[in-house]
Each structure stands twice: as C-alpha cells, then as structure tokens.
Chains A and B, each alone.
Chain A
Amino acid sequence: MRSLVAWYPDWPAVAAGYPPDVAAAVIHANRVVAATEAAREHGVHPGLRRREAQGRCPALVIVAADAGRDARAWEPVVAALESLTPAVEVLGPGVAAFATRGPSRYFGGDEALALRALEEADRVVGYRGCRVGVAGGRFCASLAARLGDGAGGSGRAVVVEPGASRAWLSSRPVGALGSQYEALVDLLIRLGIRTLGDLADLPAKAVLGRFGAEGAEAHRLARGLDDRPLAVREPPPDLCVAAELEPPAERVETAAFAAKALADELHRRLAEAGLAPAVVIVEAETEHGERLSRRWRHDGVLSASALAERVRWQLEGWLAGPRADEGDGLGEAAGGLDGRGAGGVEGPGNHGRPTGGLALIRLTPEGLRTRHGHQLGFWGGVSDSDARAGRSLARVQGMLGAEAVVTAVIAGGRAPDDAIRLLPWEGGAIPAACDRPPPGAARGAHAPGVRRRDRHEEPPPWPGRLADPSPATVHSQRPGAQVQDGAGRPVAVSARGLLSGAPAALSVNGGAWQGIVAWAGPWPLEERWWDTGRRRARLQVLLDSGEAHLVTREAGRWWIEATYS
C-alpha cells in the first residue's frame, strides 16, 4: 500500500526541547540514545557512554530519557497530520505513517502532499526538521524519509515513484532492514548478500526454507512490500452533548428541563457505543460568557434522571446564588439568610451569581470504558439508606463544591492532626458498601503518603505518638498559650527536652491565668528532619477548671494543639 512516513530525526532530543543547533544528548542507562545534529558533529552518536560523549563535546547538555515525554510531545504532531487524513498510524514517538491514496489525490499529488505534511509537522514543532518519505510500502517510505536522497525528491521530502520501490531499495545495504533483523543481516552479509536487491532477487520459497519466517518477512520488505497493513489510530467518538438555550434560561427549572433531555441524549449515545464514563463534566455558560464547570462521578451507574438531578443541583447553586435551596421546604429560612448575606455570599466552590441567563449547557463524558453493566450483590451491597446518603452528599457538593464535603481516613502519624487525612467525598452514586473499599480508602491509595490498607488491618505503629485516648478537639487554628512555673517564670524546654520548671499556670491567648493541677511531659517529637523539619515538645496539662489540654512548644512558643473535650 502506498504510504507516507513522517519522521523526525533525534525525536527524544527534540521532545526534550533542544533544536538541532544546540548540542544535547538524551541519556538512558548511561548510554546516549539520541543526540542533536550539533552534538553529532562533535562525534556524539547513539550508544556512546555518557562520559565519553561529554569528553567529545564538553558543552553537551545531558537530558534523561523519558518515553512518556517523547510520546506526549509527538501527540500534537499526529493531531496536525490528522488534519490531512483521519487514518494516521503512530509507529513510535517521532514516526507516523498514513496511506496516501485518498489524500494525495485531494492535495494534488504525492509531492504536494509530502510538502503539506512537512509544513504541518514543522508548524507544530516550531522549526524545520521533519522528513517525509512517500513510497509503495511503509518500509520503503520510512527508509526514504531517513536516507533523504531518493530518486524522485529533493531535500527533506522524498517521493519514490509508483512501482519504483523495489528498484529504489535494490542498491541499499541489507543493514537498512533495521536493528530487529540484526542476526539475519549479519548472516546475510557473511553469505555474500550485501544489498536489498540481492536479497529480493532470491526466490521467496528458498528464503523461507533457509531463513524461516523472519527471512520471509525481510524478503517481503526488500521487495518493497508491507509486512502488515497499517493499523490506523481511531479517532475517539465525540460523545459530548450540548444544548443552546434560546431565549437564555433565567430559572433553574427551565435549564433543568433542558438538562434532562441532554442527559437522555448522552445516555442514548453512550449505550449505542457500549461505553460507560467514569466522570461527566457539566458545563454551563451564561449569555455574558460566565462559565461554571463541575465534574460529577458517574461510574456508569447514574441513570439519565439522576444525572439531570445533578445538573439541576449544580445550576441551583450557581444560578440562584445564595438562594440555592428554593423549593426544598426551607425557602423562607434561606430567604432570611439571603437577606443577611446581601447577595454577596459565595460558597467556596461558587463563582458568584451570574449576571445573565443560561445560554448553553454541555455534558462531556470522560474516562470512557466498556460498559459491563452493574451487578448488585445478593447480600450487602448498596442499601437504600446508602443511596439516600450519597444523594444528599452529592447535593451538598453541588452547593459548596466537591472539596467542601470530606471524609476522614486514618493515615497514621504522631500528632493528632497528622493521623487523620481528609479526602474529598467521592462516593457519589455508590457510597461505600460492604464489598467495596470505603471511599476514603479508595482515594487514599492515590493520595500522597497514604498507603492502601484494608479497613480491618491495624494501622502501623508510630513510635512517639500520643497514647489513647485521643483529644476530641484538634484545633484547626491553634490558640497561642503561655505557661509559667510556680515562681511566675515562663516555662521553656531545653535542647535536651527538659522543662525549665514545673508548669503551674496556663494562659490561653493572653487570657487569665489558670492553675495547672496535673501535668505530664514534655514528650519530645522531632521528625521530618529531611524535609522542613519539626521539633516539638508536648505536654498534657489538667487545669483546675477540669479542662485538659495538649500543649505543644514549637519554635519557642507554646500552643494549645488539642483539647480533651
């Protein structure tokens, strides 16, 4: 099949952001895997050790290899080539191929198409470096792109005339077959077969008999044929649905009605494709261009009406501003709150009340995967009350933003506030059920520093943590404190973790002095010395009023860290 191959020399270096005129090399496992043209002029070539490469070119910039970066940077180039033809196959980072029959007729010939592809790729990358080959087979085309000096082309675009592929290849050395045929090439050279033409002239049956399947494959390539058809990339289906509201909707009900139809349409499309999204993004735009977008967890279990309900909650929170809860039985109370808030009240996730009506609603499914259906368990599973709780929590998330509703997971730590990690609620439609890890634990696996742990498993020991019972109030804003001994001198903690005197009185936030009737400590805590560092000394004190506090000394000051309330 006649194909076009676009190839970028030294793609790893280009992807790392180094143009050919900067001497740079991409290193993996202490060996050069790619070098820029400037570096190659100094004799730096792939396979060289790093030290030797630096010896040959002292100004060499060394970059670590990153396959992900190469692929990511190649993606916009592929997208640019897709503007010429939809069926582009990515052969690897820096190499893409597509069949030319349709596009070359459209653009007026192979030459014009090749120049067009060059232009598109160079426009994305930012400088002229791409090479293009057009030939009867993908192998021949990529060889033409790499070698650059073909029969019918000049410069960076090489076009091998139709039917001339075999002749064009015949003078090339067998080594051009590539590194995957290394052993075969070695053998062929020793047998006196030095060019691809020599290999192509051998009878196919004899090559298969002598060299096996690998030999037959190489023989096909040498004759200018393809080893396999192109595996083109399928563009993802566009499942996004949107509705423009004309006239713009001023009331939540109007918008919610449109959202219901949209949700139905989205579900119909998803069902046709047999897909289920992980997340649905609901975007709304007003006639003045204000936008609100929010992600809702879907997991393939939300029905169309449940999705429409979520759109409604989101719009209520936004369109009605502080008056979000109209019609839920608390309208008057909320009206009162509104009067107090004077319209300027914004929840943490709110963008303020929009100035115009809603003009556009768009639902975009994300994280698509094959729909396997939803099998309910016989025992346990999601009960009615779980579903109810999930609904009301999702509703509060709609009012305040997803991060306003959190759930706690015990993460382990020495201080009472370290031991608990708060994670945004993501139960959504399916709250924690018996056969699923709790939402917190599921999230915890992704949160930094939290190890996935079974709910029933004991947390690991934390030497130096406070013994049970834990304080029931852990101050989110620690009040400052002062501690003094019997003689009225302020109490300090020495570098060796000793108190300068027995604590006798405590004052919170500069208030009145309260007598300390019992105390224990100081328990020193020194951790994270490799990071920010934290040195603390902790003291349990019992006041004459009966209150018990956990008092911490840090950076020369006393704080009330927690209260045993």
Chain B
Amino acid sequence: MFDVLEVAAARGRPIATADTRTLEVAGALGALFPEGGLRRGATVEVTPAAGGGVSLALALVASATAGGWAAAVGLPSLGLLAAAELGVRLERLALVPRPGERWAAVAAALLDGVDLLLLGLPGRVRAADARRLAARARERGVVLVALAADERSPAPAWPEPPDLRLSVSGAEWGGLGVGHGRLRSRRLEVIASGRRAASRPRCCTLWLPGPGSVTPAPADVAAAGTGVGAATSLAG
C-alpha cells in the first residue's frame, strides 16, 4: 500500500531543474566543478586539511548556508570566525563537535535535514559506513563534504572514491614579512578530480582568503586556467 503511494508521490514530484540540482558557489570556486556549482547529492573530499583545506571546505559551506542549512559534525576545532568571514551564515550552521562513537548515526540523521554536511572524519572510517552515508546523501540530495578531523594524520580520509576530490596542491601566504606585516592573503592551488563528469582533472588558483576581501576570487587570468592545459602541465 505504502509502496504504491511512494511511487505516486515520486511521479507527482516536479522535475528538478539544473539550478535546483546544484548549489551555487562563490566566484572562482565554480571553475572547480564540471556543473559550475556543487551538485546536490555529491560526495566531496577535501585534502589535506592542513594546507588550506579547512578554508576551502568552509567556502563550500558558505554556498549552502546562503539559502539552506548546513551542519558540521566532528570538528571541534573549526574556526567559526573564519567561517563567518568566508560568508557562512552562522545561524544556519549547526555544529555537533563531538558525536563520539555514533558519528555515523548522527551524520545519517543530519543528512535528512540539511543541504550540506561537513563531516570531520574520525581516525578510521569503515568502508561500509562511508558507502551508506554516500548513498544516503545521494538519495536525499545532500552535499557531503568529508574532511580529515585530525589534520596531522596522514591516512586517507574517505575510504570510498568520492564524486569529487579537491586537493590543495600549493598554498602561498602573502603579507607576512620577517618581523613585520601580518598574514593577509593566500594563493591556493586546487586540483579537482573525481568520477564521471569530473574525471578530467581541473586546476584552479584562488585567493582564499583574498587580498582586501575574504571572498574567493581568481588569482589572475593566466593562473586561472581550467581545463586540459593546466591539468596536463600539472601531470607533467
């Protein structure tokens, strides 16, 4: 009986258009994604956390909190002031800093309600847990962003191949001298690789945080290459 109703409800649901299937990301970040934005239901892994990955993840969270809800699980050390500076609306970001052993159950419950889930991964993630969470995210249309909670652990964070892997290949701070100045801006080189449409690696250079303002912006025209050229030069 209920199966029939569910099928009927699925048929009655309006067809999702392209703009509702993706979350719009700020400025230059769009170049990282084949769809121009975060596809709902995708699993994104950000590595490594230390060299700019947390800021990159927070920039993705900002895209979700603009019109929806986001949650961060298992990240007790998240810099929330930096999050606010990167455009995250803190009142739409729920935090579960210490979910304990039941982090997978907590994450699964949150996948029902939010648009983006930032998951700080505990030391070791079982492949079965990862598969189920990814499947649930896909079913609910939630972007799952996985981030290694302990940035000093060298282990691969997400045991499954994610839909998109954003890896920071280079970071360069500006503004700090020897005994003077202060940290002002960071040039971040990010490589996006993944499955299906994202299987061709894309490279992008961003200011994160940028000079003057902290919204991500392309570094310059020459460096913001998106496509084969940049990717092959990187491979070589």
Q: Residues on A close to B: CB < 8 A?
A: 322, 324-325, 328-330, 332-334, 336-337, 340-341, 345, 347-348, 385-386, 388-393, 395-396, 399-400, 404-410, 416, 419-420, 422, 425, 431-432, 438-441, 455, 467-476, 502, 517-520, 540, 542, 546-548, 562-565
Chain B, interface SS category: mixed
Given contacts A391-B112, A469-B82, A473-B79, contact A546 B171 (CB under 8 A): yes
Q: Is the CB of B112 within 8 A of A564?
A: no
Task: Write the nearest CB–CB distance from A246 to chain B, whole angstroms.
Answer: 31
A-B contact pairs, 30 of them (CB 8 A): A330-B104, A332-B132, A333-B105, A333-B128, A337-B102, A337-B129, A345-B102, A389-B68, A392-B110, A393-B113, A395-B109, A395-B112, A396-B106, A399-B109, A400-B100, A400-B102, A405-B96, A407-B91, A422-B95, A438-B91, A469-B184, A471-B79, A476-B77, A518-B173, A518-B176, A519-B179, A540-B182, A542-B173, A564-B186, A565-B50
Asked whether, in the complex, the Cβ of B85 is within 8 Å of the Cβ of A399, the reply is: no
Verify A432–B54 contact, CB threshold 8 A. Answer: no
Q: A540's contact among B69, B108, B183, by CB below 8 Å, is which? A: B183
Give the 9 A-B CB pairs with smallest separation, nearest first: A392-B113, A438-B91, A389-B69, A469-B209, A470-B81, A472-B54, A470-B82, A476-B76, A518-B176
Contact pick for A474, options B79, B84, B151, B182, CB 8 Å: B79
Tell whether, in the assembled complex, residue A520 and residue B76 are in contact, meaning their CB atoms are under 8 Å apart.
Answer: no
Asked, given contacts A407-B91, A408-B93, A468-B209, whether A563 binds B50 with beta carbons under 8 Å apart, the answer is yes
What are the interface flags for B51-91 relative to A under an 8 Å C-beta threshold, 1 for contact and 0 otherwise?
11111001000000000110100001111111111000011
State whether A473 touches B151 (Cβ < 8 A).
yes
Is the CB–CB distance between A542 and B69 below 8 Å? no
Contact call A336/B79, Cβ cutoff below 8 A: no
- List, in ascending order, chain B residues with CB within 8 A of A476's CB: 76-77, 97
Q: For the complex, what is the distance from the CA of A263 to the CA of B56, rounded to whole Å?
A: 45
Q: Is B99 an interface residue (CB 8 A)?
A: yes
Residue in A420, A475, A546 whose beta carbon sits within 8 Å of that of B51 in the complex: A546
Of the candidates A345, A404, A520, A547, the one whose C-beta lies within 8 Å of that of B181 is A520
Alpha-carbon separation in the docked complex, A518 to B178 (Å): 5
For residue B45, give the distance in angstroms from its CB to the closest CB of chain A: 16
Q: How far is the CB of A117 from chain B (nearest CB, A)?
A: 55
Interface status of B94 (Cβ within 8 A of chain A)? yes
B132 engages A471 (CB within 8 Å): no
Is B13 interfacial (CB 8 A cutoff)?
no
**Set of chain A residues within 8 Å of B110, measured between Cβ atoms:** 392-393, 396
A419 to B81, CA, bound (A): 7
Q: Do B115 and A385 have beta carbons less than 8 Å apart?
A: yes
Using A405-B94, A519-B179, A540-B176 as known contacts, list a sample of 13 further A-B pairs with CB atoms less than 8 Å apart, ordered by residue number in A.
A333-B104, A395-B109, A395-B113, A406-B94, A408-B90, A408-B93, A408-B95, A410-B84, A416-B79, A422-B95, A441-B91, A473-B54, A520-B180
